[in-house]
Amino acid sequence: MIEYRSIAKTYDDGPAAVGDFSLTIPSRTTTVLVGSSGCGKTTLLRMVNRMVDPTSGQVLIDDVDVATREPVALRRSIGYVMQQAGLLPHRKVVDNVATPLRLAGVHKKEARERALVALERVGLEADLARKYPGQLSGGQQQRVGVARGLVADPNILLMDEPFGAVDPIVRADLQQQMLELQQELGKTILFVTHDIEEAFLLGDQVVILRKGGVVAQVGTPAEILASPADDFVSSFVGLDRGHRKLRIKEVDGQQVVVDEQGRPTGVLAP
Amino acid sequence: MTWVRANQDRLVDLTWQHLWLSVLPVVLGFLLALPVGWYASRFRGFRAPALSFGGVLYSIPSLPLLVIIPSIIGTSFLDPINVAITLTIYALALLVRTVADAFGQVPAEVLDSASASGYSRWQRAFTVELPLAGPAMLAGIRVASVSTVSLVTIGALVGVSNLGSLFTEGFQRYFNTEIIVGMVLVVALALVLDACWVLLGRVLLPWARGKVV
């Protein structure tokens, strides 16, 4: 369990990036922080592994304040997947994935073997392991990033817009794979995105943020769609744009689901 | 050609002398520039003074330096060490900026990702920043290497023998062959050394193939 208690963050040269933020992230579930740029979502994510320290307030992992943990050791215990993958260009793919293990003191041979298993798990063929990251496509690099995040089997996985830089088809693929992996592994995942569709697809709990880290609404995707807290949330999740207001239309004896403009989006299963 | 054959042993000696007087300063200058340049790239306040200091060092004329150094460190005027030290100073001056820029162009997101994976400060500096700055530093070393090979010839003016001695002798004796042979050997040495640096880059930085200039 990750717990934010009255977190505030002010940078030297600006207004508060985060005002007064509190949230509980249950273990073994996916929580998605979603909001436009400037809402402080990445700042909040990076507080968990102390890449950013809050100006005031506490972040607790299983009731231990992370401020009492040594940052380097803390980071080694938490998986981190970032946008653009952040792979080391001078290390082969297999060594990139093995990095967290090597840092934890695992012997080279064993680390590589486990890295190959992690690569296979994210659907990458073994012959890619010997290449350098620059020789891979964007989607492949992102998979390598996920493999690196998972290789040391951390309880917590932080994901900062990991699929933001790949094309829609690859992104959908990566999202599906992540759902499958989470089903199997049951990690505590904190995921940051600006894409509400992605948030609803992946999140057990979705946190919609306004500017300055102000929580607009917390809930399951269904709860948020059923009863949006205010106009900001309605508009953010797209309830005002018609494609979420669905109706049923009878066509040839089938129940076809259509949106506000009457465009069909699917059929109702019998 | 007959002159070359007659003086073969001496030419080989001079070439070897020239070689170590060229390589040693570049290597030493680089090793000194490495921490200074790294520090300059990471701490902004230190960058401007470090780079200006490099500029000042480079602007010192070499002949006075060759005369002053023996009186400071107590070597004889003819000691090749004086030339090595002078050229080390120039190599350092050239390379501080290169090294600072090389570390400066390491992508920020890679450093961020390394820290987030749990690299400690020193681990990151040696196993991430240093290799990633490698290609740009190698390019700078190649420039310093070529320039040092030609600067070594100045040593001949103060009596430290190297391929430059062929120039001074050739001028004194109005003997063009000697000057031309000297020039050819200096250029050849510079090219051979350059090829060695490229080869070293291929071995040490295999991931950068195609990126190294």
Three state DSSP letters for A235-258: HHHCCCCCCCCCEEEEECCEEEEE
Same domain, A247 and A190: no
Contacts of B123 in chain A (CB under 8 A): 103
Q: Which domain holds residue A82?
A: 2-241
Same domain, A189 and A122: yes
Same domain, A70 and A178: yes
Contacts of A105 in chain B (CB under 8 A): none
CATH number, domain with residue A120: 3.40.50.300
| CA torsion, ordered B61, B184, B186, B175, to nearest 10 deg | -60
B17-20: long-range pairs with CB below 8 Å, 24+: B17/B80, B17/B161, B17/B162, B17/B163, B18/B149, B18/B152, B18/B162, B18/B163, B18/B164, B18/B185, B18/B186, B18/B189, B19/B189, B19/B193
Same domain, A210 and A259: no
Q: Tell me which residue in B109, B118, B131 faces A103 most closely, judged by beta carbons.
A: B118
Q: How far is CA B23 from CA A197, B17, B86, B100, B118, in A?
A: 60, 10, 13, 22, 38
Same domain, A237 and A250: no
Taking the C-alpha atoms of residue A107 and residue A116, their distance in angstroms, rounded to an integer, is 14
> Per-residue pLDDT for chain A (270 aa), expressed as one digit of tens each?
999 999 999 888 777 788 889 999 999 999 999 998 888 999 999 999 999 999 999 999 999 999 999 999 999 999 999 887 789 999 999 999 999 999 999 999 999 999 999 999 898 988 999 999 999 998 899 999 999 999 999 999 999 999 988 889 989 999 999 999 999 999 999 999 999 999 999 999 999 999 888 999 999 999 999 999 999 999 999 887 777 888 888 888 888 988 888 888 888 887
| CA torsion, ordered A260, A264, A266, A270, to nearest 10 deg | 90
Q: Which domains does chain B have, with CATH numbers?
A: 2-208 (1.10.3720.10)
> Are A72 and B119 within 8 A, CB to CB?
yes
Same domain, A14 and A70: yes
Same domain, A234 and A260: no
Q: ipTM surpassing 0.90, yes or no?
A: no
Same domain, A49 and A148: yes
Domain count, chain A: 2
Same domain, A252 and A130: no
Same domain, A187 and A81: yes
Partners of residue A4 on adjacent β-strands: A23, A59
Show which residues on chain A lie within 8 Å of chain B, measured between beta carbons. 46, 49, 51, 72-73, 75-76, 80, 82-92, 99-100, 103-104, 132, 134, 148
Contacts of A103 in chain B (CB under 8 A): 117-119, 123
> Are B112 and A86 within 8 A, CB to CB?
yes
Task: Classify strands A188-193 and A30-34 as parallel, antiparallel or unpaired.
Answer: parallel
Contacts of A49 in chain B (CB under 8 A): 116
A159-196 b/e with 16+ CB inside 10 Å = b? bbbbbbebeeebbebbbeebeebbeeeebbbbbbbbbb
Q: How far is CA A46 from CA A121, A140, A212, B113, in A?
A: 26, 24, 15, 11
**Chain A nearest CA to B103, separation (Å):** 14
Residues 6+ apart with CB under 8 A from B119: A72, A103, B127, B128
For the record, the structure tokens of B159 come out as 């009596």
Taking the C-alpha atoms of residue A212 and residue A199, their distance in angstroms, rounded to an integer, is 19
Same domain, A232 and A251: no
Residues, chain A: 270
Taking the C-alpha atoms of residue B65 and residue A72, their distance in angstroms, rounded to an integer, is 48
Same domain, A262 and A212: no
Taking the C-alpha atoms of residue A104 and residue A147, their distance in angstroms, rounded to an integer, is 16
**pLDDT at residue number A251:** 86
Residues, chain B: 213
Is the pLDDT at B74 greater than 90, yes or no?
no
Q: How many CA atoms lie within 13 A of A180 on its CB side?
A: 9
**Residue B65 identity:** L
Q: How many CA atoms lie within 13 A of A65 on its CB side?
A: 10
Q: How far is CA A269 from CA A89, A201, A248, in A?
A: 48, 20, 12
**pLDDT at residue number B213:** 40
> Are A75 and B120 within 8 A, CB to CB?
no
